[in-house]
Amino acid sequence: MSEHIVKAYDDDLASLTSMLAQMGGLAEEQLARSIDALSRRDTKLADRVIQADEKLDAMEVAVEEKAILTIAKRQPMARDLRVIMVAIRIASDLERIGDLAKNIAKRSHAIYDNIPRRLTKGLERMGELSQAQVKLVLDAFAATDDAKALEVWRHDEDIDALYNSIFRELLTYMMEDPRMIGACTHLLFAAKNIERIGDHATNIAENIYYLVNGEVLKEQRPKKDKTSVTPFSAVNND
């Protein structure tokens, strides 16, 4: 490639990276606000989160289009191609994090029961963990730091473990007081959404690993979310 083309290509990559950083910032903010809206039942804040989600959708499309045009114009090979592929995937994960945050925000409209503080406390804690994971993985991407990415990847089991315990606690609570079933169901779905946000952070971590090492991460991630295979009648054999 001529120097001119190399320069133009570097500009394309830099602009992709900056688009992703911007998208990551917005996804982080949406996540933080959605947890805040849910735990304080702040429906006005929830509405702002719901409205702002469109921006993330538009940003994903913009990243995708920029990525595809860059490939078509510059015909990059090997590592450069990886950068672009990874950009498309990370944009998709960030867009999904936004969708999940929007869904969490929506549920703050539905929970007007007097839910015991300790139940929403658990969700807030899960929210904090997932926010920290998203922040760390975006830092790892900005620094192309695969060691930091692996750290995120390993810590996802903390979120899964907390999800398990909240899942059980919510079910127990529903059994003790069936009037709370409606509200607790929304909390269950919100907890599941946060757990999945954690999974998207690990997806991004895996992509950073791939970007740096040119091969996919082979190690099996320790999985602690066992809720989908746990029969809960055990909790409940009266």
Contact in structure between 76 and 86 (CB atoms under 8 Å): no
Q: Which is nearer to a second copy, 109 or 135 (CB)?
A: 109
Work out how close the CB of 175 gets to a second copy at its nearest, in angstroms, rounded to a whole number: 5
Picking from 154, 159, 157, the residue whose alpha carbon sits closest to that of residue 127 is: 159
Tell me if 229 contacts a second copy by CB under 8 A: yes
Residue 55 to residue 226: CA distance in whole angstroms: 34
Q: Tell me the two tokens of residue 54.
A: 């469109």
Q: Tell me the two tokens of residue 225.
A: 């979310």
The gap from C-alpha 73 to its chain's centroid, in whole angstroms, comes to 31
The gap from C-alpha 81 to its chain's centroid, in whole angstroms, comes to 24
Q: Which is nearer to a second copy, 148 or 193 (CB)?
A: 193
The residue from 110, 119, 132, 142 that contacts a second copy (CB under 8 A) is 110
Q: Which is nearer to a second copy, 14 or 68 (CB)?
A: 68
Tell me if 28 contacts a second copy by CB under 8 A: no
Picking from 223, 142, 59, the residue whose alpha carbon sits closest to that of residue 134 is: 142
Residue 166 to residue 64: CA distance in whole angstroms: 37
Question: How many C-beta neighbours within 10 Å does residue 147 have?
Answer: 11
Work out how close the CB of 79 gets to a second copy at its nearest, in angstroms, rounded to a whole number: 13
Output phi, psi for 42, to 5 deg: -90, 95
Chain residues 171-210 in contact with a second copy, contact rule CB under 8 A: 171, 174-175, 178-179, 181-183, 185-186, 188-189, 192
Q: Which is nearer to a second copy, 106 or 148 (CB)?
A: 106
Determine the interface stretch with a second copy among 78-86, 131-139, 140-148, 152-160 (rule: CB under 8 A): 78-86
E strand intervals along the chain: none
Determine the interface stretch with a second copy among 28-36, 83-91, 116-124, 140-148 (rule: CB under 8 A): 83-91
The residues that touch a second copy, with contacts defined as CB under 8 A, are: 64-65, 68-69, 71-73, 75-77, 81, 84-85, 88, 92, 103, 106-107, 109-113, 171, 174-175, 178-179, 181-183, 185-186, 188-189, 192, 228-236, 238
